[in-house]
Amino acid sequence: MSMPYYVSPEQIIADKAEFARKGIARGRSVIVASAQDAVYMVADNPSRALHKLGEIYDRIGFAAVGKYNEFENLRVAGVRLADTRGYSYDRADVTVRTVANAYAQTLGSIFIEASKPFEVEIAVAQVGQTCQEDQLYRISFDGSVHDEAGFICMGGDSESVASHMLQNWTVGGTAAQTLTAAISALFPTGEKDLDSIEVARLDRVGSGRRFRRLNHDDIAEFLG
C-alpha cells in the first residue's frame, strides 16, 4: 500500500507564488507616473483591442500586466464597486484606497483558496490637485498592497525599467519629460512603434471624469 503524497503548506504557497511571478514576468511592462499636469499610464502593448489601461471612476485609473482575461475581470469588478458606492453614498466617497483594499481581498482569497493563482499585477491611481496628493497603489498576485511614491513599474523587466526612470526622470516632471522617460524605459533599444504604445492620463485639473486616452498624434506631440 503506497503512502499518500504530502506537500507542506509552505511548499504549496511557494509554488503558487513562483507560478504567478513567471506569468507576470512574461508580460510587457507598464509604468504609472505622477507628472506636473496629470498622472500618466504608459504601457508596452501591441494590441489595439485589448487595453492594459482603463478607467475606474472620476479620478481613478487602472493599469495591469499579466493575463488579460484575469485583469479585465478585476477592472470590471472595480468599476461596479465604484459605481455602486458612488450611487449609494456620494461620489466623493469613492476613493482609490477603497478600490485597492477590495482588489487586495479578492486577489488574496484567490491566491489562498484557488488551485491556480491569478497571473496578474495591477495598479490603481487617484489623481490629486498636486503630485504630493496623488495616490498610487500596486497590488500583487497574492493580495499584498504597496503604497508607491511617484511612480510604479510592473511586468517584464520591471527592475531595469524602474532604474531607467529613476536615472532619467523626477516626480512632477512635465508631460513631455514623463512620456519621453517612460517610453525610453520601456523601449531601451530605441526601436519603438507608436502602434505598440498605449498611453492614458488622469488630468489634474477639471471636474468629473479625468481619464483620457492619448492617440498617436497626442503622443507624437508630447514627444516633440
Contact 212, 200 (CB under 8 A): yes
31-75 pLDDT, tens digit per residue, is: 999 999 999 999 999 888 899 999 999 999 999 999 999 999 999
**Would you give the DSSP letter of residue 187?**
-
Instruction: Give the pLDDT of residue 222.
Output: 82
- Superfamily of 27-222 according to CATH: Aminohydrolase, N-terminal nucleophile (Ntn) domain (3.60.20.10)
Instruction: Give the pLDDT of residue 52.
Output: 96
Looking up cell 482609490 gives 96
Contact 62, 211 (CB under 8 A): no
Choose among 128, 106, 99: nearest CA to 205: 128
> Cell for 42?
504608459
Cα–Cα distances in angstroms (integers) from residue 61 to residues 13, 74, 99, 187, in the given order: 30, 13, 10, 23
Choose among 155, 134, 140: nearest CA to 39: 134
DSSP labels, 73-109: HHHHHHHHHHHHHHHHS-GGG--HHHHHHHHHHHHHH
108-123 pLDDT, tens digit per residue, is: 999 999 989 999 999 9
Residues 6 or more apart in contact with residue 221 via CB below 8 angstroms: none
Give the number of residues written for the chain.
224
Q: Tens place of pLDDT for every residue, the chain, 224 residues?
A: 555 677 788 888 999 999 999 999 888 899 999 999 999 999 999 888 899 999 999 999 999 999 999 999 999 999 999 999 988 888 888 999 999 999 999 999 999 999 899 999 999 999 999 999 999 999 999 999 999 989 999 988 888 999 999 999 999 999 999 999 999 999 887 776 777 899 999 999 988 899 999 988 888 888 77
Residue boundaries of the structural domains of the chain: 27-222
Instruction: Give the pLDDT of residue 165.
Output: 93
